Structure 1
Amino acid sequence: MTWEIILVFLIIGATIVLFAFEVFPIDKISFCIIAALLLTGLVTPEEAVSGFSNKAVITILCLMILAIGLEENGAISWLAKGLKVLKSWPMVLAMVAVMLIAGSISAFVSSTAVVIVFIKIVAELKQKYQMPPGKLLLPISFASILGGSCTLMGTSTNLLVNNISSRYTGERLGFFEFSLMGITFLGISVLIIALFYRFLPKNAAGLSDKYDLDRYLLTLTVDPESSLVGKKLGDSFMFKESDITVLRITRNRLDQNLLNKEMEIHANDVILLHCSLENLQWMRGQGYFEVDVEHLDQIKPGSSTQIKRVGGKRKKKDDPDTQETEKEKDAVLLELLLLPGSRFVGRTLAELKRMIVPRAIPLAVNKRKKLTSLQRRLYQSNREFTRLRVGDRLLIQTDPDYVPNFENSNNLAVLNQFEGRPPSTVIKRNLSILILLGTVALAATGVFEVMTSVITGTLAMLLFKCVELNRIYEKINWQIIFLLAGMIPLGIAMSNAEADKWITQVLLEYMSGQQPMIVIGILFLTTMLLSSVVSNNATAIIMAPIGISLANGLELDVKPFILSVMFAANFSFFTPLGYQTNALIFSMGIYRFKHFLVIGGIISVVLWIVATLLLSSMF
């Protein structure tokens, strides 16, 4: 083993740790990788930045633009609109139908975009028809992953593995070459989830009550003219409201920790509370409190109290502020989900107020569940406690005219809106769908390569004004692009240092003379386990060269090895860490880790066995 190989392994090990514990954002980790490779001399400067011009990266970038065009014009929502008829179906059949629809769309559109749209649809189904999100969202995430594995352009992992295969062997995967196998995996997984769907949470609201996941954190300042001034907490008119929990009262910058029913409310008291969305909207409409986001930075985590109710103020008709309050009633409340890459991530509510006012006022934040214990330890300072993270839900008040700005904002999903939204242009929606179909047809028939086809489709989107360039710059998930740009040089470094060949030689010592089925099974399992803690794209870049070298060393057909890495890197089901859609669903607080571990674990084991049998039959 040379020192270059040792350096490569050290960088790979550090990368896995950084990804697994989410110490830094993935784009920052990518820059760390590029810098480390350059400083150690494992790659040349040209190789270090080659990821930005890689064919797979350009193809993925164009696919993101196509997905943005479809989402901007309501095409994905329109395709999924038929879900509303499922309200009268048995839950298990409705879940199966949703999975098949999500999987079918994900075969041609970014799985992340599909899941984001379905989150909105499921939220509407819950609000209007009381359909439990817990029975739908995890199956949707799994189905989108499996559906993306059915075509070459279905996931970025497929494109990356195809690019590596072309570079190492000269062989390319066909557009539908592995579709039958992918559909088989999708069908098996749908059947498994249908059999175990009772294990999914029955009622998202029940989980929310247990973990306070549907309650918002906010601070309210009592107006000096409030009728509550001088009253006891126990005598306040909202004392009987069970959906409002007082966490702390701050008076003259001092926390009042000994809260009880006899405590007197003073003017300008700053009250920290948890409140349901419905009660918050009611208080806003009645003008009971002056909302104050500046004090939210002073909150300390872990607050507790014995008192759970607090009252407010009802504005008088002759109050000079009544007119302003009535105007606020006409404002729109939006519930936003922060997605990866949002410019709001890392900001406090007070900072956010300065960023978006006068367009909107941030009212409250619902903190996501943390994925790792390390992250929990990072939340120690008062300001850090209220910094927004990916998966947090933000409640804002804005003018109806500004609603489109938030719907089109950088990596935000509007989960709930209390005013109607203008329908998208039908012509542009249909054009977007036709452009996608044309792009798929060009790639599937072999008229053009996939990259040429998606570039042509992107150009059509721009020429027909289905999407604007400024919207593209805002909505592209640049974290994924930088992740790929950082990981591709790592794959080059492995090749330069011959680390992949060294690993292959070690594996050949143990696998020489073994049945191809055993070799494929070990490769598939190793890749799948790595994908559970590292991103699927990073796993593919690391494992694909190893799989190809292993096939050459054993003098076996390389195609089953390529497909093994591709499928296994995608199949990250038993943890919410490896795949972005799983992390997004988990962060909403509906599921616990055990749901991924049990249901995802069963699916992973079954698919591992089935894939090993199918792939080994290709020899």
Structure 2
Amino acid sequence: MDINQILVAGIFVVTIAALIFTDKRPSAIFSMAMLALLGSGQLSLLELSHGLTNQGLITLVLLLLISNAIDKTSLLKLLGRKLISASYTKSYWRLFGLTFSSSALLNNTAIVASLISPVTQNQHHPASKLLIPLSYSAILGGTVTLIGTSTNLIVDSFLVEQGHPGFAFLDFTLYGLVAGLSCGLLLFLMSPLLPNIKIKQADYKEYFIEAKVDADSPLIGKSIEENHLRNLPELYLAEIIRQGHLLSPVTPEIVIEGGDKLIFSGNVKRVDSLSHIPGLTLFAETNGLLRENLTEVVISNRAKLIDKTLKEIGFRAMFDAAVVAIRRDGESLSGKLGDIRLQSGDNLLLAVGPDFDSRNNLSKNFFILTEHSLPKKLSPIQERLTLGGFLLTVILSATNIVPLATGLVFLLALLVLSGITNGAELKRHLPVNLIMVIVGALGLAVALEQSGLIASINELVFPMLEGSSPFVALVVIYLLTLLLTELVTNNAAAALMFPFAWGLVQMLDAPVLPFALAVAFAASASFISPWGYQTNLLVFSAANYRLSHFVRIGLPVSALYSLIVLSLLKFSFNL
């Protein structure tokens, strides 16, 4: 090995060691690797920046930006409320079906984040019996299509970088469907092995939130249970005000009537869950304001508001603001928001108008704390435009009519022009960390190849594989990627292993597609460790799981998944 190969090998080994043994973000580690490659002369700035124009990377960024707009729609939120029933079997398969199918098209991390709260707040089953299945079904669903997970798009970006056309949209579908549904069945059969863990209490201050049932609401005539109002994320239906009378406690059998005032307590950041329920209007909406950015204030001890109600003082006119929610530490609240007598120290969450900041009575009445950002509620037309536009883009790509990246560019432009998203949101959600990982990994792959290190390593390995089937080499690549994804992260594992898979393909004169698929599927197969995949991390912290829980359930799932994927690859490509 010459000095260049030694330098590149050292950077590569240190990068893997840092990913495994430190708690630094992968983006920071790959950034340091890029600096080391630049500083040692192994890469030029032009070569490194070339990764920013990679089509796979551009497609991935567009998908993530559009997924944030899709997350504003009410579809997943409405379905999430109806997932869990008294039957564990029904609950499991509803959860698996929704998560598996939606993860095939949408960002699976965002899906799990959206569904964790309905699962943890359900009244029927311990959340620990459902959260590991939630994560695993998202992982499995992500392997069904090209856009199901960022891992697939990362491998696709490496293929394109090497001059290959890349994956077709449905290249993953056969393997992902068979492996995913089989593992879903196995996971259900192993559900008695899932732990029964008491969920830790969420760390938030409870607010008091009012919503009115509209006269034409579809909730009318159905019970609390039938309307799934007991499965709202981090919100509890505490009481109902009906024609001036208080109904409390609220039992599941109570039937909703028009004009009912529903009083919720819980996490104010979950107000958007209420705004997506059809026929339910928040107190702030009836007062003419409900904005994306909300302001939290505390009533001062000198305020003229003390011992008066919102109605008596004409709060909306006085401050150009409407109260979304009220919190009073140390004392429970009851009744409608407009009838509560305010006290010094009360926390109010306000939807403020354009004149709020210019009012000269703010400092006399409030201490202004912070602003809260809530997802903007879309109109029915905007919802249809978002979901319909995305499905049309996917269909056009799957049928090879319009390239995926091109379709996503036009869809994103449409979302901006229609006001569904805007420049500030796009800037805020730009996945900078993921971009750094991919650009750094692409640069490291170029350095490995240009230095001749991959060729040297493959020359050492080739005599061991000479005379054997290419399938043996594919199994070796798959298992190494599988091991790496459990130790680091799925994206990093795919990025680090692809260059070696490509080198073996060239040396064995084997077809590249099965090797690329093997890297992609293995990198997504993080079932044993809670740290290898983002969805595992989300449920790990939400349910107080231990590593042993993932090992007990994940080992059989990983073994079945690997057996099916490798067998299908062998027979599909006659390896």
Same fold (TM over 0.5): yes
Q: 2:173 aligns with which of 160, 165, 179?
A: 179
Judge conservation of contact 1:149–1:158 (CA < 8 Å) in 2. yes
Listed as ranges, the matches of 1:146-161 within 5 Å are 146-161=140-155
Q: 1:456 to 1:75 in 2, by over 3 A?
A: farther
Instruction: Name the amino acid aligned to 1:84.
Output: K
Q: Classify the secondary structure of the residue corresponding to 2:134.
A: helix
CA drift at 1:499: 2.1
Judge conservation of contact 1:16–1:533 (CA < 8 Å) in 2. no
Aligned partner of 1:112 in structure 2 is: 109
Q: 1:552 to 1:48 in 2, by over 3 A?
A: closer
Judge conservation of contact 1:520–1:615 (CA < 8 Å) in 2. no
CA drift at 1:524: 0.9
Q: Are residues 1:592 and 2:546 paired?
A: yes
Q: Classify the secondary structure of the residue corresponding to 1:532.
A: helix
Aligned partner of 2:253 in structure 1 is: none
Write the distance in 1 (CA, Å) between the matches of 2:202 and 2:512.
53
Q: 1:166 to 1:56 in 2, by over 3 A?
A: closer
Q: Are residues 1:450 and 2:437 paired?
A: no
Instruction: Name the amino acid aligned to 2:15.
Output: T
Write the distance in 2 (CA, Å) between the matches of 1:189 and 1:22.
32
Instruction: Name the amino acid aligned to 2:85.
Output: K
Q: 1:214 to 1:559 in 2, by over 3 A?
A: same
Aligned partner of 1:214 in structure 2 is: 201
Q: 1:563 to 1:550 in 2, by over 3 A?
A: same
Larger mean Cα displacement after TM superposition, 450-459 or 100-109: 450-459
Listed as ranges, the matches of 1:557-576 within 5 Å are 557-576=511-530
Judge conservation of contact 1:134–1:201 (CA < 8 Å) in 2. yes
Q: 1:99 aligns with which of 79, 96, 101?
A: 96
CA drift at 1:169: 5.1
Judge conservation of contact 1:146–1:186 (CA < 8 Å) in 2. yes
Q: Are residues 1:430 and 2:398 paired?
A: no
Write the distance in 2 (CA, Å) between the matches of 1:554 and 1:113.
40
Aligned partner of 1:21 in structure 2 is: 21
| CA root-mean-square deviation | 2.7
Q: Are residues 1:555 and 2:509 paired?
A: yes
Write the distance in 1 (CA, Å) between the matches of 2:511 and 2:72.
43
CA drift at 1:592: 1.0
CA drift at 1:424: 4.0
Q: 1:406 aligns with which of 361, 373, 388?
A: 373
CA drift at 1:326: 6.5
Write the distance in 1 (CA, Å) between the matches of 2:28 and 2:43.
19
Normalising to structure 1: TM-score of the pair? 0.65
Judge conservation of contact 2:56–2:160 (CA < 8 Å) in 1. no
Aligned partner of 1:391 in structure 2 is: none
Q: Classify the secondary structure of the residue corresponding to 1:467.
A: coil
Judge conservation of contact 1:201–1:590 (CA < 8 Å) in 2. no
CA drift at 1:488: 1.7
Aligned partner of 2:346 in structure 1 is: 328
- The superposition leaves residues 230-263 of structure 1 with CA deviations (integer Å, 9 ceiling, x where unpaired) of xxxxxxxxxxxxxxxxxxxxxxxxxxxxxxxxxx
CA drift at 1:133: 1.6
Instruction: Name the amino acid aligned to 1:457.
Output: L
Q: 1:153 to 1:37 in 2, by over 3 A?
A: same
CA drift at 1:525: 0.8
Q: 1:603 to 1:215 in 2, by over 3 A?
A: same
Q: 1:93 to 1:313 in 2, by over 3 A?
A: closer
Write the distance in 2 (CA, Å) between the matches of 1:85 and 1:60.
29
| Structure 2 unaligned regions, length at least 5 | 206-265, 268-298, 300-328, 333-339, 351-366
CA drift at 1:588: 2.4
Question: What is the count of residue pairs matched by the alignment?
Answer: 430
Aligned partner of 1:469 in structure 2 is: 423
Aligned partner of 1:135 in structure 2 is: 129
- The superposition leaves residues 384-431 of structure 1 with CA deviations (integer Å, 9 ceiling, x where unpaired) of xxxxxxxxxxxxxxxxxx6xx4334xxxxxxxxxxxxx9642222221
Q: 2:559 aligns with which of 605, 608, 611?
A: 605
Q: Classify the secondary structure of the residue corresponding to 1:72.
A: coil
CA drift at 1:63: 0.4
CA drift at 1:520: 2.0
Write the distance in 2 (CA, Å) between the matches of 1:548 and 1:158.
16
Percent identity reads: 26
Judge conservation of contact 1:109–1:154 (CA < 8 Å) in 2. yes
Larger mean Cα displacement after TM superposition, 472-481 or 103-112: 472-481
Q: 1:40 to 1:98 in 2, by over 3 A?
A: same
Q: Classify the secondary structure of the residue corresponding to 2:93.
A: helix
Judge conservation of contact 1:75–1:432 (CA < 8 Å) in 2. no
Write the distance in 2 (CA, Å) between the matches of 1:429 and 1:542.
39
Write the distance in 2 (CA, Å) between the matches of 1:181 and 1:313.
56
CA drift at 1:149: 1.0
Judge conservation of contact 1:574–1:601 (CA < 8 Å) in 2. yes
Judge conservation of contact 2:487–2:531 (CA < 8 Å) in 1. yes
CA drift at 1:137: 1.7
Q: Classify the secondary structure of the residue corresponding to 1:358.
A: strand
CA drift at 1:186: 0.6
CA drift at 1:314: 7.7
Q: 1:568 to 1:466 in 2, by over 3 A?
A: same
Instruction: Name the amino acid aligned to 2:119.
Output: V
- The superposition leaves residues 495-529 of structure 1 with CA deviations (integer Å, 9 ceiling, x where unpaired) of 21122222222221211122333222221111111
Judge conservation of contact 2:155–2:498 (CA < 8 Å) in 1. yes
Judge conservation of contact 1:111–1:155 (CA < 8 Å) in 2. yes
CA drift at 1:147: 1.0
Write the distance in 2 (CA, Å) between the matches of 1:93 and 1:73.
25
Q: 1:25 to 1:544 in 2, by over 3 A?
A: closer
Q: Classify the secondary structure of the residue corresponding to 1:87.
A: coil
Aligned partner of 1:84 in structure 2 is: 82
